[in-house]
Amino acid sequence: MSASTTHDPAAEPGGTSLTGLSAAELVAAYKEGDLEPQAVVSASFELIEKSEPALHAIYDSFPEEALEAAQESARRWASGHALGPLDGVPVTLKENQKVKGRPTPWGSAATTPVPAESNAPVIDRLQSEGAIILGRTTMPELGMLSSGVSSLHETVRNPWNLAWSPGGSSSGGGAAAAIGYAPINLGSDIGGSVRLPASWCGVAGFKPTFGRIAVDPPYFGRHIGPMGRSVADLALATGALAGPDDRDPYSLPKQRIDWADLTFDPAGRRIGLVLDVGDGAAADPEVLDVVRQAAEVFERAGATIVEIPPFLESGTIDLIDLFWRIGHWNDYCRMDPERRKLLLPFIAEWCRGGHGISGEDALRSHDAQLDVARRTIAATADVDVILSPVSPGAAFPAEWPMPSNDVNDPMSHIGFCVTYNMSGQPAVSVNGGFTEAGSPVGVQIAAARYEDRLALAAAHFFESERPASAVRPWPTLSA
């Protein structure tokens, strides 16, 4: 099948197509009896069937289970006993979230396909809220690529232009959100893996405060976060999923946060502006223009813009990359030798970079994460909200594993994102404009730890007030 990307006004936010409705709009329609979840789920799977030959965003589809769950949701709404604010809302999950009885391959043909013995915490939470899980979205090799390239799956492509990468590692989730498979698409993020695809796919993506949404297996810096077409849907999803779980020792207690309150008045606020973190690739002029225009939106509304100078030492991101390589080299060595041959060559070479590292250098790479956390918190302590690029560049060719396409320089694009993974601060990506070539450009909006509602509210303000040029009809695919 050959496909081209078109842009259909009927698919704009607020459009009437079922797959264009937000989570809040769906719930309101269910409550009034104007719509049933079965119709919405059926529309989602029709769109998936139409789009997947080109996008390759879905790894594991659950049509029978989803339709059954939709029928149960309809009965609850009819009887006035909805389980929660996500009851009947379609959701997709990233491939690395465990589903009982199904393997968790992490985007790699080299992993051994062992059925999971239990669900991931986020699945248990979704089901307790009545959400309808459509399936799991594709991820790249071992989740360590900012693309949709994998030894197990066909390459995931960007709905705005099939020649472009959607980003990663929540590649399928970003593509699914842009094309409209579900209003809420959950990914995971250790160095930008939710915000990068959100940026390149032109959707909203949220990395909450570290521990806000429980993760299993837990890992320092790893967050679960939603992607969707509106910040309001991100807030709705985060509120429903937040809370502790014994499987994640870093998970936070439930806090009293009004997730529906997205009011934000910029007047009198100090808004930090980060255009260079001091390490990694420099941002392209087109990207910087979009972020500066975003700062002007806040400034015109009464905020004071405070430019934050570079705060990371050169080489820090390479040290964090080394830490990840060491861990994956150990995993590489434990793999079955025959299955190891199935690894994507780029990732196999990347893993080898963790071989033969001295204990002293390994400790330095570990300590670099804490150094980034301290520097980021100190640099942003005197402002209410921080604006920056999400990525230094626009979307890149779909076949490239990384924006650099260089295994010796794989992580230079994560500087604006990884800072907030290490510090644990909440950060949102909101589309702020497009390059001349048509690639979406995300603006990152971050806040202090635990100030998730503030970050989301500021992002919602920008989403509402951003330049008209930042809003285009959502992409559709035509055969």
Cβ contacts of residue 422 below 8 Å, gap of 6+? 221, 320, 369, 370, 372, 373, 376
* Segment (H or E) for 429: strand 427-434
Token readout for 381 is 């302590």
For position 478, what pLDDT does the model report? 72
- Write the CATH number for 173: 3.90.1300.10
Q: Are 250 and 190 in contact (CB under 8 A)?
A: no
DSSP one-letter code for 102: S
For position 5, what pLDDT does the model report? 55
pLDDT at 365 over 60: yes
The amino acid at residue 106 is W
pLDDT tens, residue by residue, 274-331 = 999 999 999 999 999 999 999 999 999 999 999 999 999 999 999 999 999 999 999 9
pLDDT at 139 over 60: yes
Q: Are 176 and 95 in contact (CB under 8 A)?
A: no
Cα–Cα dist 410/402, whole Å: 6
**Sequential DSSP letters for 22-49:** -HHHHHHHHHHTS--HHHHHHHHHHHHH
Token readout for 84 is 């929660």
For position 14, what pLDDT does the model report? 36
Mean pLDDT across 30-52: 97
Q: How confident is the model at residue 6 (pLDDT cuts 50, 70, 90)?
A: low
pLDDT at 1 over 60: no
Cα–Cα dist 44/26, whole Å: 13
Mean pLDDT across 127-146: 98
Owning domain of residue 422: 4-478
Cis preceding-peptide flag for 266 (omega within 30 of 0): no
Average pLDDT, the chain: 95
pLDDT tens, residue by residue, 218-255 = 999 999 999 999 999 999 999 999 999 999 999 999 99
Scored b (16 or more CB within 10 A) or e, 412-445 reads bbbbbbbbbbbbbbbbbbbbbbbbeebbbbbbbb
Question: Which residues, in sequence order, are bridge partners of residue 270?
Answer: 304
**Secondary structure class of 188 (helix, strand, coil):** strand
pLDDT at 8 over 60: no
The percent of residues above 70 in pLDDT, for the chain, comes to 96
Mean pLDDT across 342-361: 98
Cα–Cα dist 462/471, whole Å: 12
- The burial class, CB within 10 Å (0-12 / 13-18 / 19+), for 244 is middle
Q: How confident is the model at residue 92 (pLDDT cuts 50, 70, 90)?
A: very high
Q: How confident is the model at residue 11 (pLDDT cuts 50, 70, 90)?
A: very low
Token readout for 73 is 């949701």
Q: How confident is the model at residue 9 (pLDDT cuts 50, 70, 90)?
A: very low
Q: How confident is the model at residue 13 (pLDDT cuts 50, 70, 90)?
A: very low
pLDDT tens, residue by residue, 186-227 = 999 999 999 999 999 999 999 999 999 999 999 999 999 999
Q: What is the number of domains present in the chain? A: 1
Cβ contacts of residue 190 below 8 Å, gap of 6+? 143, 219, 221, 222, 223, 421
Cα–Cα dist 453/447, whole Å: 9
Cα–Cα dist 91/436, whole Å: 32
Q: How confident is the model at residue 12 (pLDDT cuts 50, 70, 90)?
A: very low
pLDDT tens, residue by residue, 406-462 = 999 999 999 999 999 999 999 999 999 999 999 999 999 999 999 999 999 999 999
For position 348, what pLDDT does the model report? 98
H-assigned helices in 11-116: 23-32, 37-55, 63-79
Cα–Cα dist 82/65, whole Å: 19
Q: How confident is the model at residue 15 (pLDDT cuts 50, 70, 90)?
A: very low
Say if strands 385-389 and 440-446 run parallel, antiparallel, or are unpaired. Answer: antiparallel
Scored b (16 or more CB within 10 A) or e, 452-478 reads bbbbbbbbbbbbeebeeebebebbbbe
- Count other Cβ atoms within 10 Å, centred on residue 284: 16
Nearest residue to 324 via CA among 448, 191, 474 = 191
Token readout for 412 is 């230079």
Token readout for 238 is 């985060």
Question: What's the Rg (C-alpha) of the chain?
Answer: 21
For position 48, what pLDDT does the model report? 98
Q: Are 44 and 19 in contact (CB under 8 A)?
A: yes
